[in-house]
Structure 1
Amino acid sequence: MILDGKKIALARKIKLKKEIEVLIQKNQRQPSLKVLMVGNDPASETYVAHKLKVANELNIKAELIRFDFDVKHAELYSKIDELNVDENVDGILLQLPLPKSFNEEDYLQAISPSKDVDGFHYINQGRLLQGYETIYPCTPLGIINLLEDYNIKLTGQNVTVIGTSNIVGKPLALMLLNKKATVTMCNKNTIDIKKHTKSADILISATGKKFIITEDMVNSNCTVIDVGIIRDLTTNKLVGDVDFENVAKKVKNITPVPGGVGPMTVITLMENTLKLYKNK
């Protein structure tokens, strides 16, 4: 079965829009999301434009605040501080990557935990670690929601996560542990990754390496979640970590690229914005 993230995201979007309309009538204020972007990275331009489009379709007041590539560090800090104390701002998103002269972590941690729509602040990540309710990172939560909306069992399942980034792999592994799954985390130093992937009930790959997951690495009862998104320079098509054409013939469930995890990430960002709005 193809796990259609586009379809699930659309269903969640319809439900979300209705909830937002009721809350706006009650509170006389739209949820507000501010997106900060430094420079003009082409991929970021595309992602941000899509986020703003979806937000405005949902009656979320979304605004892009642009900074030149060579913006002074103090100026970016100052804008974050200003938004932190603005009562009419619910969520703040710092679009990554930042130029190399910036330490991304410094600016992510400058965002107030109560407006941290991406769930990257140490306080929100600490709450995640200890199993408390919090704002969860968008891609991991989107993956969990996709699996649960397709009624794919997590409790007691063997889940292998490939890739241990702070944005996807690590928080996702913790969230799966909190859902009572048994989680194996693999990185580039893991010896014999195939040993871990072959035994997985659920395999999640988030490396950004084209076709790192091949047919011989999976079993026929496996659910495969492909987080990677890479431009194939030969065909100019978007592909993922997984050799979809061959793996899809063998496994039980699989996400496509594009149209799998990506739409779930964007709708989860909107759900997080609403959550922050309601928290206030």
Structure 2
Amino acid sequence: MATIIDGKHYAERLRAEIGRQVVQLREAHLVTPGLAVILVGEDPASQVYVRNKARQAREATMASFEYRLPHGVPQEKLLELIERLNADPAVHGILVQLPLPPQVDAERVINAIRPDKDIDGFHPVNVGSLATGGDGTVPCTPLGCMMLLKHHLGDLSGLRALVLGRSNIVGKPMATLLLRENCTVTIAHSKTVGLDEECRRADILIAAVGRPRMVPGDWIKPGATVIDVGINRIEENGKARLVGDVDFDSAVATAGAITPVPGGVGPMTIACLLLNTLEAACRQHGLPVPAGVMEAAWG
């Protein structure tokens, strides 16, 4: 039976340590990290995400700024708001909740955010920095996955890792982070030939393809560590529920460790958003970025 990697528990401890660092930053340098979140439209899931992000920022004693725009807002209005936030010294991190409505070009919006305030890590400058080993902002979900892996496994050097999914948000940056840790990395996707065999070779399996229960337990190498990034809403027995990209019930009998859905990667994503905001505030004020946050949080 697999060990359950409790992302909710780890995220609580990480947020507590971030809150402690925020207090120290404010007391020593009179700097309060500020997070601005922009929501366009009335998507229920996005509303929940934005509400959680704002609440957890406040709990960490950060400054939280929320901007809710109507679904039909012209693109130029959104870009004007981003430009104002780029120039606002109280705002250290800017996040535009995705997806955006069809009249808005998401790429143009992402590119409009100042790279040092892009706490999602989606700006081309940060993407390039990650790819070339720089110290730009790392996307929150891959960063959270990597923290869980390193906390559970320690040294990842030499392990064979499979990233199932090739998105710019999770799959590609996740593969880069694993390469940094000296893993042997394969990127696969829904069209990969022999996908089941690729999965069975992996010591680490990151599932981020967005298909409910796509990976059954017999695709998993015995003892492998499984990080399930998928969050899929399905109807089952007349009720809505969330499931991952991995069939948890069968995988838990084969894997050595696995993240649940919900309660696995999701809470870590928001915690890493706060960590990126803290680090952005330090960099923008010419202060050293706090080191060892993960170690301090988890001992």
Q: Give the TM interval when normalised to the shorter protein.
A: over 0.9
TM-score, normalising length: structure 1: 0.98
> Following TM superposition, by how much is the alpha carbon of 1:183 offset from its aligned partner in structure 2, in angstroms?
0.6
> Following TM superposition, by how much is the alpha carbon of 1:73 offset from its aligned partner in structure 2, in angstroms?
1.3
Name the counterpart of 1:67.
69
Is residue 2:290 matched to residue 1:272? no
Quick one: distance in 1 between partners of 2:203 and 2:31?
45
Quick one: distance in 2 between partners of 1:197 and 1:168?
18
Query: CA offsets per residue over residues 97-143 of structure 1, 9 Å max, x none?
Result: 00022111110010000100000010111010001111100000000
Quick one: distance in 1 between partners of 2:154 and 2:265?
15
Bigger shift: residues 187-196 or 146-155: 146-155
Query: CA offsets per residue over residues 169-205 of structure 1, 9 Å max, x none?
Result: 0111111111111110012221110111000000010
Is residue 2:259 matched to residue 1:255? yes
Name the counterpart of 2:173.
171
Q: What secondary structure does 2:240 align onto?
A: coil
Percent sequence identity over aligned pairs: 41
Name the counterpart of 1:35.
37
Contact persistence 1:168–1:206 (CA under 8 A): yes
Quick one: distance in 2 between partners of 1:97 and 1:18?
32
TM-score, normalising length: structure 2: 0.92
Query: CA offsets per residue over residues 219-274 of structure 1, 9 Å max, x none?
Result: 11211110001112124221111110111011101000111000110100000000
Q: What secondary structure does 2:158 align onto?
A: coil
Bigger shift: residues 47-56 or 226-235: 226-235
Is residue 2:204 matched to residue 1:202? yes
Is residue 2:221 matched to residue 1:214? no
Quick one: distance in 2 between partners of 1:222 and 1:194?
14
Quick one: distance in 1 between partners of 2:112 and 2:221?
44
Q: Name the aligned partner's letter for residue 112 of structure 2.
A: A
Bigger shift: residues 121-130 or 78-87: 78-87
Aligned ranges 1:227-242 → 2 under 5 Å: 227-234=229-236, 235-242=239-246
Contact persistence 1:8–1:149 (CA under 8 A): no
Aligned ranges 1:1-280 → 2 under 5 Å: 1-234=3-236, 235-280=239-284
Q: What secondary structure does 1:66 align onto?
A: strand
Q: What secondary structure does 1:233 align onto?
A: strand
> Following TM superposition, by how much is the alpha carbon of 1:152 offset from its aligned partner in structure 2, in angstroms?
4.0
Q: What secondary structure does 2:235 align onto?
A: coil
Contact persistence 2:190–2:209 (CA under 8 A): no
Where in structure 2 are there 5+ consecutive unaligned residues? 285-299
Query: CA offsets per residue over residues 65-104 of structure 1, 9 Å max, x none?
Result: 1111111111111111111111121000010000022111
Bigger shift: residues 233-242 or 209-218: 233-242
Count residues in correspondence.
Answer: 280
> Following TM superposition, by how much is the alpha carbon of 1:216 offset from its aligned partner in structure 2, in angstroms?
1.3
Where in structure 1 are there 5+ consecutive unaligned residues? none
Q: What secondary structure does 2:153 align onto?
A: coil
> Following TM superposition, by how much is the alpha carbon of 1:26 offset from its aligned partner in structure 2, in angstroms?
2.0
CA RMSD of aligned residues (A): 1.0
Quick one: distance in 2 between partners of 1:99 and 1:154?
40
Quick one: distance in 2 between partners of 1:92 and 1:155?
34
> Following TM superposition, by how much is the alpha carbon of 1:153 offset from its aligned partner in structure 2, in angstroms?
3.4
> Following TM superposition, by how much is the alpha carbon of 1:57 offset from its aligned partner in structure 2, in angstroms?
0.2
